[in-house]
Amino acid sequence: MSAIVIVVDPSAPDPAALAPAAAVLRDGGLVAFPTETVYGLGANALDAAAVARIFVAKGRPAHDPLIVHVLDLAGAAEVAAELPPLARRLAEHFWPGPLTLVLPRSSALPPAVSAGLDSVALRSPAHPVARALLAAAGLPVAAPSANRFGHVSPTTARHVLADLGERVDVVVDGGPATLGVESTVVDVRGAVPLVLRPGGVTLEQLAAVAPGSHLAQRQGEPTGPQASPGLLSRHYAPRALVCLVQGAPEMVARAMVEIAERLAARGRRVGALVAAEDLAAFDAGPDIQRICLGGLDDPASAARQLYAALHDLDAAGVDWIVARDWGDAGLGLALRDRLTRAAEGRAVDTRAGPWDHVWAEVAAADRRRFGDGHTPGG
């Protein structure tokens, strides 16, 4: 059975239209809904059986905790055991919005929500449709991104239907997500915010409110024991294999074209995620499908389009995606995080000199996926 789709006005959703979705949540069902970051797959966070259905629908391992969505600090107080002053300060600045706070978990929540951890991740979404649904349901709503585990996150209802269509009861269609990357996940149980996953609230914004805010782990480092399972190495990944390229702008364009040419020579269909500044180099290069995510000075525009572009290149059937880096300022950090994971760490840094070792990893991944022959990949 495919999901029931409810189309609503993203800026002024009709409460009557959302009533059936709220009822499904109260009855223990699954409702996919838009937030400003990505679409979420929601269930009643207080109902252990409903929460279990999320893990089944996504194929998500039970050790990966969910984010619980609430309307405000009062809602947070019902599911967190305590709200330390740092948490209150960040919530006052950034809620509603793309910031998720990791706090001590209240015993009101079934342990499975947090994968048995003694913490819980809480977020108050800004999207009018998400807020109207939370208000209508009158419940805290557990909601990971509405995709199968490890896949690219959905930024439209169509993405949700394509990935999870038979596995959800209702999909609320409120148009494309406006931000396009997930929330920033911050552990606020210590003296300063520890960023477990960079996202929609930038490190600069956090540091302006809470000096000392820092990343739990440097970007691109091999992952050790997981503080946050969103840090797993292959995640946010399209079906196509991905290679990331970073460095000075002209060098990046040249390296991307070279990698694309080498892959095309192996018989692969190649797609590229490029900036406006790269287009000239690609015009002279091989005939590959490229999607321009905007100017390098506008990582927010790239973030908004990234997941739809990955979905589109998968739909076009490319074997490889060569993607450029957008720097580490602002939303560039979240882009780098997602692309590094999509690329399973295959990242060329043109500033670091010759990149033969990265090409060797690309070629090895290519052989593992497509074999040794020079025939077009399937």
Rounded least distance, CB 193 to Mg ion, Å = 21
Pairing mode of beta strands 99-104, 119-123 = antiparallel
Backbone angles phi, psi at 273, to 5 degrees: -105, 110
Partner from ligand TXA, Mg ion, none contacting 123, C-beta within 5 to 8 A by type: ligand TXA
**Residue 209: in which H helix or E strand, if any?**
helix 203-209
Partner from ligand TXA, Mg ion, none contacting 196, C-beta within 5 to 8 A by type: ligand TXA
| Nearer to Mg ion (CB atom), residue 35 or residue 305 | 35
- Measured in residues, the chain has a length of 378
CA R_g for the chain: 21
Rounded least distance, CB 22 to Mg ion, Å = 23
Q: How far apart are CA 366 and CA 319, in angstroms?
A: 9
Build a one-symbol-per-residue string for 145-184: x at contacts with Mg ion by CB under 5 A, - elsewhere.
x---------------------------------------
Rounded least distance, CB 281 to ligand TXA, Å = 34
Judged by CB under 5 A, the chain residues 116 through 145 that form the site for Mg ion are: 145
Q: Is 195 exposed, middle or buried (CB count within 10 Å of its CB: 0-12, 13-18, 19+)?
A: buried
For residue 74, the one-letter residue type is A
Q: Which two tokens stand for residue 195?
A: 């960023």
| Nearer to ligand TXA (CB atom), residue 67 or residue 288 | 67
Rounded least distance, CB 291 to ligand TXA, Å = 22
| Nearer to Mg ion (CB atom), residue 210 or residue 232 | 232
Q: How far apart are CA 232 and CA 221, in angstroms?
A: 11
Rounded least distance, CB 344 to Mg ion, Å = 16
| Nearer to Mg ion (CB atom), residue 124 or residue 145 | 145
Q: How far apart are CA 53 and CA 42, in angstroms?
A: 10
DSSP 90-113: HHHHH-SSSEEEEEEBPTTS-GGG
| Nearer to ligand TXA (CB atom), residue 6 or residue 133 | 133
Partner from ligand TXA, Mg ion, none contacting 35, C-beta within 5 to 8 A by type: ligand TXA
Rounded least distance, CB 303 to ligand TXA, Å = 12
| Nearer to Mg ion (CB atom), residue 35 or residue 246 | 35
Rounded least distance, CB 248 to ligand TXA, Å = 31
Q: How far apart are CA 326 and CA 298, in angstroms?
A: 9
Q: What is the dihedral of CA 205, 179, 283, 329, to 10 degrees?
A: 10
For residue 183, the one-letter residue type is S
Partner from Mg ion, ligand TXA, none contacting 362, C-beta within 5 to 8 A by type: none
Binding site for ligand TXA (CB under 6 A): 35, 37-38, 40, 64-67, 98, 100, 102, 114, 117, 119-121, 123, 143-145, 182-183, 185, 196-197, 228-230
Partner from ligand TXA, Mg ion, none contacting 37, C-beta within 5 to 8 A by type: ligand TXA
| Nearer to ligand TXA (CB atom), residue 184 or residue 246 | 184
**What would the 3-class secondary structure string for 339-353 be?**
HHHHCCCCEEEHHHC
| Nearer to ligand TXA (CB atom), residue 185 or residue 300 | 185
Partner from ligand TXA, Mg ion, none contacting 197, C-beta within 5 to 8 A by type: ligand TXA
- Residues with Cβ < 8 Å from 225, sequence gap 6 or more? none
DSSP 300-347: HHHHHHHHHHHHHHHHTT-SEEEEE---SSTTHHHHHHHHHHHTTT-E
Rounded least distance, CB 294 to ligand TXA, Å = 21
Partner from Mg ion, ligand TXA, none contacting 97, C-beta within 5 to 8 A by type: none
- Could you identify the residue written with the tokens 């998500």? 60
Partner from Mg ion, ligand TXA, none contacting 54, C-beta within 5 to 8 A by type: none
> Which DSSP category does 212 fall into?
T
Q: How far apart are CA 288 and CA 213, in angstroms?
A: 41
Rounded least distance, CB 230 to Mg ion, Å = 6
Task: Give the binding site for Mg ion (CB under 5 A).
Answer: 145
